[in-house]
Amino acid sequence: MSEDTAAPRPYTLVAELTYRCPLRCPYCSNPTDWARRDDALATEDWLRIFREAEDLGVVQLNLTGGEPLVRDDLEQLVEGARALDLYTNLITSAIPLTRTRLAGLAARGLNNVQISIQDVSAAASDRIAGLVSFERKLEAARWVKELGLPLTVNTVLHRDNLDRVAEVITLAESLSADRLELANTQYLGWALRNRAQLLPTREQLDRARDIARAARKRLQGRMEVLFVTPDYYAEFPKSCMDGWGRRFLVVSPDGLVLPCHVAHTLPGLTFDSAKTASLGDIWRGSSALNAFRGEAWMPEPCRSCDRRTIDFGGCRCQAFHLTGDAAATDPVCSLSPQHGLIDAAVAAAPGATPRTFEYRAR
């Protein structure tokens, strides 16, 4: 979202409606203990959260999970979002979808549908999803376009499918996708557990990036092609969530208000519940949201770095899960004193065997 002012204002609400999902992808970013968490928020809670979010400045709403379609109040939620003039994006595995249900959601004002496709063949895609799902996804993607809705295809990239980026692009073109997200795995949650199996080589990555770049140029104006570089191979960290508690609000299925979908794995932070307080009060007053806002928390080399207003020190969750300190410089940064952790992971990955995943629990 292009924006120039410094004050925190959320533009996007990521509503994680449930952690339940029919898929079992080994890179799922949901918490690894998700099965112990309940969907705590009722329809009225979500509708109030949407209103309070819009009041704070939110204009984009991502309905996600888990699999948002497992909630039978999704129609009501889309209707509520429409009444608030929010741009509503359904992020789905497409598995529980029917054409009739999709038509109903479109009629209630859904703006965009994002479908995950794990690979370009049924065998490979289903292996990652842990479920026979590939053909159903393609069918659902065709319904999206037939019903006149914009389609985003999202494919998470890793060592086993990165060499097929050209085929992924062809598949997305054949589905008339409006946007293709080629998102390299972020190594948090289940993906960190499976990192040795998922991390690609630098050569693979360079080839894939060149292919994506050429496609972006060729398809300009027809299909937006986004290639998210894996930060393990970048010189500098990502501007994670455009900065902590700055542009994004995430509400988890258990009602916690988070700066990103992984932040509740950080120890020592108390996240407030949207069930018991207003989003506005939480956005402004939450000790956890304030913990890494601005620059006061930054250690060196971030504190004196010219890039501190570009990447905000990188990802707090990655910093914690790799170094044990959430306030450390993101170790993917080449300037981080702990960058050796990344070099070691990269050096270890290509030879790693056996190639069996630890699947997300169902």
Binding site for other proteins (CB under 8 A): 1-3, 9, 11-12, 57, 59-60, 85, 87, 89, 111-112, 114, 148-150, 152, 178-179, 220-224
Least distance (Å) between residue 303 CB and other proteins: 30
Alpha-carbon dihedral angle through residues 332, 334, 336, 342, given to the nearest 10 degrees: 40
What sign has the CA pseudo-torsion 63, 69, 72, 75? positive
Q: Is 102 helix (H, G, I), strand (E, B) or coil?
A: helix
Least distance (Å) between residue 238 CB and other proteins: 15
Question: Looking up tokens 């949207």, which residue turns up?
Answer: 274
Task: Classify each residue of 232-257 as buried b or exposed e, where b means 16 or more C-beta atoms within 10 Å of its C-beta.
Answer: bbbebbbbbbebbbbbbbbbbbbbbb
Instruction: Tell me how far apart the alpha carbons of residues 166 and 118 are, in angstroms, rounded to a whole number.
Output: 14
Least distance (Å) between residue 2 CB and other proteins: 6
Nearer to other proteins, 89 or 336 (CB): 89
Instruction: Tell me how far apart the alpha carbons of residues 193 and 195 are, in angstroms, rounded to a whole number.
Output: 6
Nearer to other proteins, 86 or 165 (CB): 86
Question: Looking up tokens 């928020």, which residue turns up?
Answer: 41
Contact present, 316 and 240 (Cβ < 8 Å) = yes
Least distance (Å) between residue 264 CB and other proteins: 23
Least distance (Å) between residue 142 CB and other proteins: 16
Q: Is 251 helix (H, G, I), strand (E, B) or coil?
A: strand
Instruction: Tell me how far apart the alpha carbons of residues 128 and 197 are, in angstroms, rounded to a whole number.
Output: 12
Least distance (Å) between residue 297 CB and other proteins: 27
Nearer to other proteins, 111 or 323 (CB): 111
Nearer to other proteins, 154 or 197 (CB): 154
Partners of residue 112 on adjacent β-strands: 89
Nearer to other proteins, 117 or 328 (CB): 117
Nearer to other proteins, 174 or 287 (CB): 174
